[in-house]
Structure 1
């Protein structure tokens, strides 16, 4: 199927015929064998894989898995960084009629054990020694795992666990099978159907263990086609895979859309080299979570702290001109000349045609920053159960207060709206999940009727027909005086500050609003060094009176942009960062409010009781299992009172 978009013609396949991932791979390898699909940076060198390279390796891995006893219906898990081998292992699992289950690379051992045992995983692809150690430490907690396939042998040769097998050895087994039966892999691929469940995708799990959404290959591919109709791309386009592969949107972009559009997918060497590697690639499309966009904006401001007075003045002038032009629906040529052109090049954004954010709300101030910079930002919205995004801004119709308009074939309604039209977002389209794996009760609860799915989000349609999503329905709050507010909206405004990493806004059923803030250590530490403020640890730095005063000014600036009833009255700086490893955040960095309210309940109650200082004596457990006792006092900052002159003690 050929589609023309502007001056580009895309040879997109018919996904009703090529209705599985292995079928699409075989089609692309046959028609475009020497075209590059994947690139990976290793030891400073970009290594390329053509469609034929990938197809050959997938065939070997598939037959290797079969030789290990993997059969139709088995679950194959993948654990590690985004790498070409992840995609190859996933397609190989599908070729055998199995289901793939992505596990977040930073998941703790207990989280891995839960997912592996719940899904009866037969084989795990583990990237390296770190992930292998995590699995071996579980011992008999993962009895269903028959084999652990590792791709990086460094440090693993010393192990003698019979379940371990190297990826190279697995591929050699597969090639031996192919030599005896050259058509065996093709027969497996031909047996696959679009109606087969191919992916078990973890939900965000903001309230409990994540559920596993069952996604069929045909539904994923048809939904990817609908997405490409809204935001087209083709073989000349470059994409940098940054977000962890288990997330539904990375599956849609780096996997489904790439197989259809044949855009090139690039894998950076390390998360720390992201910006440098991305600048070398010059991607035409990127998809970042809000926390990544927030970090990039914060890093830009951080670098400006170290620049000369002239450069800081040019930055401020450029931003002022750019934002003013943006508010008028224009671009500032002068701002582009003195600031934005060079900044886009520095960030690797020069060739961007589309940049998306999703997974959580992005603060409007951060959105405006990138739009003024000339980054073609679009907000998307969706859920894992509905195959990721199903709304998106159209090119030339971007409104940073909304999440855009629905794809073709997507229906959205607002249930139980209030007088302002605000209610629960309920959605229906043909390409949604088939239910939760081994959880019929939760599947029934998710659907309203006739295929309509409750999203759990509060939203409304504005006058332009754009969907506006405010917050989770359960998180929409009222003060004791009946004043409604959205914690997430205020938190996003707070996190636009380069000094604020996380924020939790409180006040439901209480007298006014308060906030727990976590400093962005990398930037606040640099600020402290520049201002000759000595510190040792995160706890010590957040204890400094100068840092408290700095954050007070940031909160006061945000308060000026809020309605009077929605302003923060009190806040404090937590002695530690909120952490997914502690269950305080999901793996996609959404706040688990129930956990936060329970864990810091004593501190929260003391804030609302009017305490000016709160004593803390607790223990922090690190990812490696080590523990540290923290004894400190937290100053509660009352924004209706003068700045305190005292200081906190930290130990």
Structure 2
């Protein structure tokens, strides 16, 4: 039976939809999870029963309607069950990224006054216990994976089996309690507190109501249809707004099967086993997959490399003409899609940040039906998408049926701030009326993004954050993100931060993609010990110089990069340099690497670094190295002319 998107009117909360599905299709598979190499299946009735047990357990713990319940862990069925259990008893769910540092967790649980947190395993319990020492709110921590937990003796800890026992006692005493609690729920209730990306400060919590959110998801499904026979593999962080749509809300409406991989490291192998029909990956993941393909070709025979180059050339030429190359499909693309697990894809999406046009073309030429989506947490996630057969690499497509868009205060070229509203628009920021008033005016969300509508097609083009659009001291306007995305198509570049605002010319801080550059170096007999050592090698600088020259050749002369430096470490969310969705925090970069940035815009060829970095396991390492400031172009009258290469200094660790 086909899904009925109108169900979101009759069943206007997540638990109501769940109970409907469990009643009508009890034996249909709702979820799969890979554990110890085996895919375990959970039907809709299993899903309902687990949610019921957790909900009753929370009630037995004294959780009250209107409170906030937290959950933290990798993408697992238990995390989804926990979220719906909170909704079932009238609570708001707050998802916390599994790799969040203790101070980030502490901020969120105290701000939302979370009394009960449901945690995946020992790793998360350790983090929460550390937080709980100074937390004003945490009273109970429920854990699902009991491995390693025997050594703990803390009254705040409660295992899954203990919670189930408490739930069974309550159920015996009040057998109709769960159904009554679900029935009390209303579509106007705030169901989800979803963290914003927090590119400039602590994340805010967007209050999303169940009914409007489900209604917006139904509007999404009308332009990107999903069926009960389809499969989705959940790999992006569950607290992220788009994973809330793909792994939680849309499956309740369309009954698509959600699959959870064993570990992030097994993602590609698990993808191939499932052969999903739908996939949503962040731009960084698509970039990594493209880089891995190029990396494998570095190890291939000369004949295979030639076949790869031929297939890509034919595929890209055919794509430019709106066709597919049969020869490229035969010699390259069909086996490559199979290798990646993309053979059965009906639709693939990317969102959360911009994806470079070159990466987009790579996958489109391969036959992956990749489409760009665009939106904000506050507007219930994505609200534009490319329609099938109408993909424009430079745009984010057309709006959904429940979406209104306009460009505020456009300049002569039509570029202005993107302003939008959707049926799923948030109620406001939790306990932050001031921030709500700053972003929402007259029922419209001011996104802070600069864009325009493309003449002819009406597609929305997103340029960059309004505050990130920059102007050099010579008057050249540029988008850092646009140039960064061009650079990150290179398999050797993991991150790039373009500088130049109020400066005489553009420059870049670059992080190498260690997994690939290290392989490249090993093949050439280049000695190195670690990331810092490798990034300082003269041969690596020459390699990256070639990548910059390729990109510069595609840019207007005034927007070309004049200098770059290879950073001694990778940018890391744990250091506050990236958000949890891998967006660059430019203000942090500007402050943290101010000395390096100042040196870039001086005449010095080298800047000395003596600093300490802290790893996730708490260990500390001192870094002493000299960073070479590689000059690509001469500033001033000679701009545009290649510069003479400087001498390189090695690392001193």
If the length of structure 1 is used for normalisation, what is the TM-score? Answer: 0.98
Following TM superposition, the consecutive aligned residue runs of length 4 or more in structure 1 with deviations greater than 4 angstroms are none
Do the aligned partners of 1:539 and 1:650 also contact (CA within 8 Å) in 2? no
Do the aligned partners of 2:511 and 2:571 also contact (CA within 8 Å) in 1? yes
Partner of 1:643: 645
Query: Is residue 384 of structure 1 aligned with residue 377 of structure 2?
Result: yes
* Structure 2 unaligned regions, length at least 5: 634-642
Query: Is residue 182 of structure 1 aligned with residue 175 of structure 2?
Result: yes
* Aligned ranges 1:5-16 → 2 under 5 Å: 9-16=2-9
Partner of 1:214: 207
Question: Greater shift after overlay, 641-650 or 117-126?
Answer: 641-650
Query: Is residue 461 of structure 1 aligned with residue 447 of structure 2?
Result: no
Do the aligned partners of 2:117 and 2:141 also contact (CA within 8 Å) in 1? yes
Partner of 1:426: 419
* Structure 1 unaligned regions, length at least 5: 3-8
SS at match of 2:342: coil
User: Deviation of residue 252 (structure 1)?
Assistant: 0.5
SS at match of 2:9: coil
Partner of 1:37: 30
* Aligned ranges 1:45-194 → 2 under 5 Å: 45-194=38-187
Query: Is residue 612 of structure 1 aligned with residue 588 of structure 2?
Result: no
User: Deviation of residue 649 (structure 1)?
Assistant: 2.9
SS at match of 2:7: coil
Partner of 1:488: 481
* Aligned ranges 1:586-597 → 2 under 5 Å: 586-597=579-590
Do the aligned partners of 1:38 and 1:266 also contact (CA within 8 Å) in 2? yes
1:287-331: CA deviations, max 9, x gaps? 000000000000000000000000000000000000000000111
Partner of 1:356: 349
1:67-109: CA deviations, max 9, x gaps? 0001101111111100000010000000010010000011000
The match for 1:205 among 198, 211, 221 is: 198
Question: Greater shift after overlay, 611-620 or 372-381?
Answer: 611-620
* Aligned ranges 1:264-413 → 2 under 5 Å: 264-413=257-406
The RMSD of aligned alpha carbons is 0.9
1:543-584: CA deviations, max 9, x gaps? 111111111111111111111111100001000011100000
Do the aligned partners of 1:237 and 1:263 also contact (CA within 8 Å) in 2? yes
* Aligned ranges 1:208-247 → 2 under 5 Å: 208-247=201-240
User: Deviation of residue 648 (structure 1)?
Assistant: 2.5
1:19-68: CA deviations, max 9, x gaps? 00000000000000000000000000000000001101111111111000
User: Deviation of residue 650 (structure 1)?
Assistant: 2.9
User: Deviation of residue 629 (structure 1)?
Assistant: 1.0
Partner of 1:444: 437
Distance in 2, matches of 1:258 and 1:409, equals 20
Distance in 1, matches of 2:99 and 2:402, equals 36
Distance in 2, matches of 1:610 and 1:581, equals 33
Distance in 2, matches of 1:354 and 1:494, equals 26
User: Deviation of residue 491 (structure 1)?
Assistant: 0.2
Distance in 2, matches of 1:179 and 1:139, equals 33
Distance in 2, matches of 1:356 and 1:80, equals 24
**Aligned length, in residue pairs:** 643
Distance in 2, matches of 1:383 and 1:318, equals 37
SS at match of 1:121: coil
1:239-260: CA deviations, max 9, x gaps? 0001000000000111110000
User: Deviation of residue 156 (structure 1)?
Assistant: 1.1
Partner of 1:6: none
SS at match of 1:138: helix
Distance in 2, matches of 1:375 and 1:77, equals 36
